[in-house]
Structure 1
Amino acid sequence: MEYPAGARRDGLPAVLDDPARLAALEASGMVGSAPEQVFDDLTRLAVSVTGSAISAITFVGDTRTYWKSVPHLPYGGVEQWQNAVGESFCYFAVGAGGPFVVEDAEKDPRTAGHQAIGPWGVGAWAGFPITTTDGQAIGTLCVIDTRPREWLPQELETLAVLARAVSNEINLRISLRTAQAALERARGALATSRELARSLQDSLLPPVLRPVPGMDASACYLAYAGEAEVVGDFYDLFHARGPWWTAVLGDVCGHGTEAAKVTALARYTLRADAGDHLSPAVVLERLNTAMLAQRAPRYLTAVQATFRTTPAGAAGRLCLAGHPPALIRRADGRVQRTGVPGTLLGTMPTVRLTDVRFRLAPGDLLFLYTDGACEARPDPRSALPHRPPFDEKALAQALADTRGMDAATTNSHISDALAAHHGGWASDDTALLSLRVPPGP
């Protein structure tokens, strides 16, 4: 394999010797450090999402590779948790400065005959570099399968996200080392945890919604006010097939890495199946089956709408899986509930799910939300701790007050109404998604 900076005499990439890269590696504090749960959680998530046999986080020096997280192996101490840099594939992603993906290690000309294939049982390998803020590649997050295989695009996307999460953790730790006072270091540690959690959370949500021809769409995510953790609300909007589009919004029980696993599984399963089945009930039932097969550690509720634009506006079908009802705001401001209550997903092999047809005329808006929008309550430490929750009735009234507003302004109005009720202290995370048919001329 050729590298932009050439190669050393031993055939390894010359960038391994780059002084700036080695200085960044030293500043990370990772060389010779022991395993930590924050990294083990990410490698276990990589195994869960890809179904691989092994996942690892390593840091690559000029002559040695230092293991940070290899959950399938017991920790044997600093001396045992390292090897010569050429005895694994980890330097490939560092040398390339980007992803390195092999589907058949024995046959791929870049890796055929490599000394790591036998000891590590490498049939297929995929790795992404861990980088510092100034672009120095100091390590690798990788997965290994014992047999050749094809890596799916969504698996590689998730690995890239996890590598960025590791990079964020490392970069924030480097920043912490510059803190001058113990109090600032403590505050920096909290910021580190929050940044890592938010990085992974944001990666599980589309950064922007894909435009739907003939529709006005907007979504937003409102974080809860608790400890810094990855939480379970998610939304998505994507093209299913032909004229059909799918909007989905869900709420995974709990927080943390376990919730992130289920969120990732749900998003990828829904995207994979929505193009084959235009019935939301069928798609959600298949997600339930996938969650049980994968022994998902958390259950979830969801609402899915599959729709198309029509000369009269839009039409489609909607299904609730243990989720609050969808709301339709008509052009005249009337608000209607829609959807038949159904079974939440991930707990039972048989679920009760029902498709309901809906139509939107010009000026109508379909509003999807998680329960943070209808169970908001004020900070118990505030002057009004006994104020009743912001319930479904209050939410419907707030939505009615948005008559004439577009999708983004509607979400903003609802967000402001929630903040005014709980005083800025959100007891739960909240996702909102609005789909509006623009009014006629």
Structure 2
Amino acid sequence: MSYEPPRPAGRLLLTPQDKDAAARVRRLRGMGLGARAEPAFDAFADRLAEVTAVPYSMVNFIDENRQFFAGLHTPDGDGLRDGFGGGPGVVGRYMARDYGFCPHVVVRRKALVLEDVCDYPRFAGNPVVDEIGVRSYLGAPLIDHTGIVLGTVCAVDIEPRPWGRAGLETIKSMAAELVQQIELREGGGLPEG
């Protein structure tokens, strides 16, 4: 699979073309994922936020048009609502594919570490930088046993963060752990939600 970096379109940067979106949506629907928030995913996002010491973390499933945070941790739970918007610093359960960095992780099929998004012209113009105040991002893909990238797990900070190799290993490990939990659930090993 090839990856083409996004090209500037005025101030916004284009989200990379996602040729696997239709297959991902079929797989997510077949697994019953990506349509509703689940307490187990919120708990996972809470733990990820604690481990990485960030104000925001997500379990994110992505379809052709939007991102859905099935697991979401925000400061004091103030962003736990349906929708996106409502002012600076507000994160809801849904976000357009053009917002954020997770769609890039999905297409790249590998982790993305941005210690300071402003250091990367490709990412600095993303709407989440100004609208939410994102300055640092750490994300990894959720790749299941069929080879489909279901979505991502990510940790986000409003301050630059020196994630280093330890941060990269942490996010990759957390992603692998969640994929294992999802596959156990699919096989009947764990209860849903």
TM-score by length of 2: 0.79
Preserved CA contact (<8 Å) 2:22 2:64? no
SS at match of 1:111: helix
Shift of 1:173: 2.8
Q: Deviations over 1:237-284 (max 9, x none)?
A: xxxxxxxxxxxxxxxxxxxxxxxxxxxxxxxxxxxxxxxxxxxxxxxx
**Which structure's CA Rg is the greater one?**
1
Between the aligned partners of 1:81 and 1:139, the Cα distance in structure 2 is 14
Shift of 1:22: 2.5
Would the alpha carbon gap of residues 8 and 48 (structure 1) be closer, same or farther in structure 2, given more than 3 Å must change?
closer
* Among 16, 38, 43, the residue aligned to 1:13: 16
Would the alpha carbon gap of residues 75 and 129 (structure 1) be closer, same or farther in structure 2, given more than 3 Å must change?
same
Would the alpha carbon gap of residues 164 and 14 (structure 1) be closer, same or farther in structure 2, given more than 3 Å must change?
same
* Among 78, 81, 97, the residue aligned to 2:93: 81
SS at match of 1:116: helix
Between the aligned partners of 1:60 and 1:124, the Cα distance in structure 2 is 20
Write the letter of the residue equivalent to 2:124: A
Unpaired segments ≥5 residues, structure 2: 85-91
Shift of 1:17: 4.8
Match of 1:427 in 2: none
Write the letter of the residue equivalent to 1:173: R
Write the letter of the residue equivalent to 1:23: R
Between the aligned partners of 1:86 and 1:141, the Cα distance in structure 2 is 17
Between the aligned partners of 2:174 and 2:81, the Cα distance in structure 1 is 25
SS at match of 1:75: coil
Between the aligned partners of 2:52 and 2:187, the Cα distance in structure 1 is 32
Would the alpha carbon gap of residues 128 and 173 (structure 1) be closer, same or farther in structure 2, given more than 3 Å must change?
same
Preserved CA contact (<8 Å) 1:28 1:171? no
SS at match of 1:148: coil
Aligned: 1:175 with 2:187: yes
Please give the root-mean-square deviation of Cα atoms over the aligned residues, in Å.
2.6
Between the aligned partners of 2:115 and 2:6, the Cα distance in structure 1 is 26
Counting only pairs closer than 5 Å after superposition, residues 3-402 of structure 1 correspond to structure 2 as 4=2, 6=4, 11-36=14-39, 38-72=40-74, 73=77, 74-77=79-82, 81-176=93-188, 188-189=189-190
State the identity %: 26
Greater relative contact order, per chain length (Cα 8 Å cut-off, separation 6+): 2
Q: Deviations over 1:369-399 (max 9, x none)?
A: xxxxxxxxxxxxxxxxxxxxxxxxxxxxxxx
Between the aligned partners of 2:4 and 2:164, the Cα distance in structure 1 is 31
Between the aligned partners of 2:48 and 2:190, the Cα distance in structure 1 is 24
Write the letter of the residue equivalent to 2:52: T
Q: What is the number of equivalent residue pairs in this alignment?
A: 177
Write the letter of the residue equivalent to 1:126: L
My pick for the range that moved more, 77-86 or 147-156, is: 77-86
Shift of 1:29: 1.6
Q: Deviations over 1:307-328 (max 9, x none)?
A: xxxxxxxxxxxxxxxxxxxxxx
Shift of 1:30: 1.8
Match of 1:409 in 2: none
TM-score by length of 1: 0.37
